[in-house]
Structure 1
């Protein structure tokens, strides 16, 4: 079985952008100029994601396959992590997120023998003289393979979605207690989930992308109902949109909810670095614009900067690019192309965990 996963390799707050790199470090860049302003070192295996604190912009959470989640004070780049979160020594993390209230931190593990775990910590409580976060417990029954994406609801602190290579996407209400009670919705994407995004005007929809370019959009507004509504579903969504000039859509980078426009922005690309911006809704996919002349290899991560009205992208060519146009052109219906106004050549590539061959038994 092939397992590969993308994760949130970017996050930004105020004027700082954090980027996961292939040497297991995290680089801090000026969001305005993209210049390197700091580096965080300490992880000993691939970094699976970065998340800035919702409440304290100077704090950054990172997760790694080395079995640790760490909290850093970016005002002191070069110093050790101020807090380290661990669970069982056999756990290797491939996804994580922090709740909007910043009370709970959750990480998804790779499969351990025949089990996979969602691990929870209380961010506010510390042990061992403040160095280690307090472990709350684990969920162990809801997934049977690598948990590749974990996403807390942006507004509801107890609502959590998780996706795995077992093809299941689960929604939990953590306020209900134990795992059996907390699991309120299960959706099947019939493939390995690569990313999740809360979307919709009330953020009650889930967008799921899979590692084989599948796309699913579900309405999960009523978690206590068995009637989960599938708004859009395709095992391979690439043929759903026709690109002009014979352009090639070979993969999806990811999707994000544009709250100001109340639309889903989907980013795809070609293996030669060309990017395509798409509008995604229950009606299907619609081509917006292509971005050319920037990357020369596959793009692995992106972030829409709503404040600066720009798109940030990182790729296997080791480049970090910022694309921007006039504010009137940034809408999903923009008519003029975004242009790369600034770029920087990274010493290390924006990280993506590569596919590895696994031969592991599944639960019966």
Structure 2
């Protein structure tokens, strides 16, 4: 037991983390240990975003705090660095691989551009930006973007610019700016997400606290706006997910609250406060944060950590309907996690964070079929 405890990063000699609310034996009983298979340092830079292609040996994009993108390939022998890109002049807010081509990658930045990269080239192949501005206009700082499922439309949210936040739209095939929405939000747009199976369905989230749902097949913004959900909080992260064939939305707020919405309801059907989450992961409330939310089959997997002990503690819990229970503990984690990516098909989970380390994990996702523990 002594050796096992010593090997667990983030745990004190008595086997308990300084922000745990129970002893280590209870933690072991509650959480399954997640296998750590590889770690790669990009430090001292922060890792801000991660994306990966979908094949068994995926390409992995890591967005760093020096405005660069590192591309690696993952195989049974580990991570191999492939190429580094540095054309953006400000913070990279997101990176995304194209669904059907593992060599095509999009990156969006506060510098007002979204770039398309072909990993076989040494420089970007396309740049998407607001072509209606001239040198005297303010640059619309990109805060989030997404590519629709059929890879024909690109949408990006912006910070407040000259009194308005914008959702910009481009035709990917000819890099043409098609137009914009600017009336549905009143503050910075923090998230835009296409429905994973419907290129006409888009959600946006903002620091104004609103989640807007659009039907892009309509001819104007007023007609396209189908519904507005009021979270009463700054929105940091939005994800579409499905449960019992129903479209739902997960929302992480700036207060580390998780809200779960059905698109047809006026209130969230489930709300996990920071206190609720801290009790599930056995941590003190003041240190608890949400790193990300992923769908695994019919469940949600919520990555949550603690800022105590230099952010070494990372755990997760699963959510089905309104029920929740502990899932994994990530004993080899050494940093506060800022980004993650899960490929359910290959069972690979990637995490990155404030010490510039990319970790590769192999969670046993089969536990989601047999686990019946309640919180």
- When normalised by structure 2's length, the TM-score is 0.78
2:232 maps to 190
**Deviates further, 302-311 or 107-116:** 302-311
294, 305, 329: which one aligns with 2:333: 294
1:270 maps to 306
2:65 maps to 22
Give the drift of 1:80. Answer: 1.8
CA deviations on 1:32-53 (whole Å, 9 max, x unpaired) are 3223211122000000101111
259, 265, 271: which one aligns with 1:233: 271
SS in 2 for 1:181: helix
Bigger RCO of structures 1 and 2 (CA < 8 A, at least 6 apart) = 2
1:61 maps to 106
**Deviates further, 64-73 or 25-34:** 25-34
Query: What is the alpha-carbon distance in structure 2 between the residues aligned to residue 169 and residue 8 of structure 1?
Result: 23
Query: What is the alpha-carbon distance in structure 1 between the residues aligned to residue 48 and residue 216 of structure 2?
Result: 23
Contact persistence 1:10–1:303 (CA under 8 A): yes
Query: What is the alpha-carbon distance in structure 1 between the residues aligned to residue 123 and residue 246 of structure 2?
Result: 36
Query: What is the alpha-carbon distance in structure 2 between the residues aligned to residue 305 and residue 332 of structure 1?
Result: 20
Give the drift of 1:185. Answer: 1.1
- Residues 96 and 244 (structure 1 numbering): CA distance in 2 closer, same or farther, change over 3 Å? closer
1:353 maps to none
Contact persistence 2:200–2:215 (CA under 8 A): yes
Contact persistence 2:48–2:65 (CA under 8 A): no
CA deviations on 1:266-286 (whole Å, 9 max, x unpaired) are 110012221111112331432
Contact persistence 1:241–1:287 (CA under 8 A): no
2:52 is equivalent to residue 12 of structure 1: yes
1:320 maps to 358
1:139 maps to 181
Give the drift of 1:139. Answer: 0.2
- Residues 247 and 324 (structure 1 numbering): CA distance in 2 closer, same or farther, change over 3 Å? farther
- Residues 40 and 167 (structure 1 numbering): CA distance in 2 closer, same or farther, change over 3 Å? same
**Deviates further, 178-187 or 285-294:** 285-294
Contact persistence 1:8–1:50 (CA under 8 A): no
Query: What is the alpha-carbon distance in structure 2 between the residues aligned to residue 21 and residue 317 of structure 1?
Result: 11
Please say which structure displays the higher CA radius of gyration: 2
Contact persistence 1:100–1:152 (CA under 8 A): yes
Query: What is the alpha-carbon distance in structure 2 between the residues aligned to residue 158 and residue 83 of structure 1?
Result: 23
CA deviations on 1:164-212 (whole Å, 9 max, x unpaired) are 1110111100001200000001111111101111112336000010111
234, 256, 279: which one aligns with 1:242: 279
156, 170, 187: which one aligns with 2:198: 156
Give the drift of 1:327. Answer: 6.3
2:150 maps to 101
- Residues 219 and 326 (structure 1 numbering): CA distance in 2 closer, same or farther, change over 3 Å? closer
